[in-house]
Amino acid sequence: MNTAQWSELRIDLALAFRTRPTEGNAQRLLVLLHGVGGNETNLAALAASIPNDTRIVLARGPLTLGPSQHAWFRVAFGAHGPTPDLDAAEASRVRLIAFVSQLQAAFSVPASKTVVAGFSQGGIMSASIGLTRPDALAGFGILAGRILPELAPQIAERAALGSLRGFIGHGRDDTKLPVDWAYKADSWLKELGVDHDTRLYPGDHGIPPAMQADFAQWFEQTTRHR
């Protein structure tokens, strides 16, 4: 992470975060969420392809697992797949919604120019915000993540999801969250009528350069003409 272009850690809003300044007033807002056991610096490289008219925020998960290790909720991995702490996931969802609202007010960026995206567990949280509060965002990105099946009762009505856009990026050989989760997310978004792009890439659990480039292009299309 090039610390010169990022602020010191801020703790004055609902979540701790770092931010990249813009050239002039911010025209768009991109909030990036790290995975379990990571921290806010992990997705800094994703900002390199995003224009400087965009205020980029690297948020830190509220749970501390160890030195420089944070999470949005705890999760256990077993023979039947991941088992999340749903109460903690819900608490983080509510907190993130408040945080995004605070950022929009602080940087004078409307919901129509706001995107939240995340890696792995961060992608789970991004989808959780977008699908339950489509009025708060223009779009959300799931990068090597999934949509929690347990979210179903909270998803907004189909009509409210009409203006929302999604991006799904996943490694074909992902050993942490198998690519089947991307297929499930794609199918679910189609069922909900959410306009979205689904892209698969060679490799394991990560954000390869091709995914970064495709996400940056999608972000441009999602926010530029709204």
**How far apart (Å, rounded) are the C-alpha atoms in residues 203 and 142?**
16
| Nearby residues of 40 by Cβ (< 8 Å), 6 or more positions away | 9, 16, 17, 18, 34, 58, 59, 60, 70
**pLDDT tens, N- to C-terminus, the chain (226 residues):** 665 589 999 999 999 999 998 888 999 999 999 999 999 999 999 998 899 999 999 999 999 999 999 999 998 877 776 788 999 999 999 999 999 999 999 999 999 999 999 999 999 999 999 999 999 999 999 999 999 999 999 999 999 999 999 999 999 999 999 999 999 999 999 999 999 999 999 999 999 999 999 999 999 999 986 6
User: What Å distances lie between residue 108 and 61, 90, 195, CA to CA?
Assistant: 24, 27, 26
Single-letter code of the amino acid located at 96? L
Closest CA to 167 of 184, 136, 189: 189
User: Do the beta carbons of residue 75 and residue 100 sit within 8 Å?
Assistant: no
Strand partners, 79: none
Q: What pTM value is reported for the model?
A: 0.95
Angle at 76 between CA 41 and CA 87, to 5 degrees: 80
* Helix ranges restricted to H, the chain: 86-107, 121-132, 180-192, 209-223
Other CB atoms within 10 A of residue 68 CB = 13
- Per-residue pLDDT tens digits for 116-167: 999 999 999 999 999 999 999 999 999 999 999 999 999 999 999 999 999 9
**How far apart (Å, rounded) are the C-alpha atoms in residues 2 and 22?**
16
User: What Å distances lie between residue 25 and 28, 29, 87, CA to CA?
Assistant: 9, 11, 37
**How far apart (Å, rounded) are the C-alpha atoms in residues 167 and 221?**
11
User: Do the beta carbons of residue 177 and residue 146 sit within 8 Å?
Assistant: yes
Strand partners, 30: 56, 115
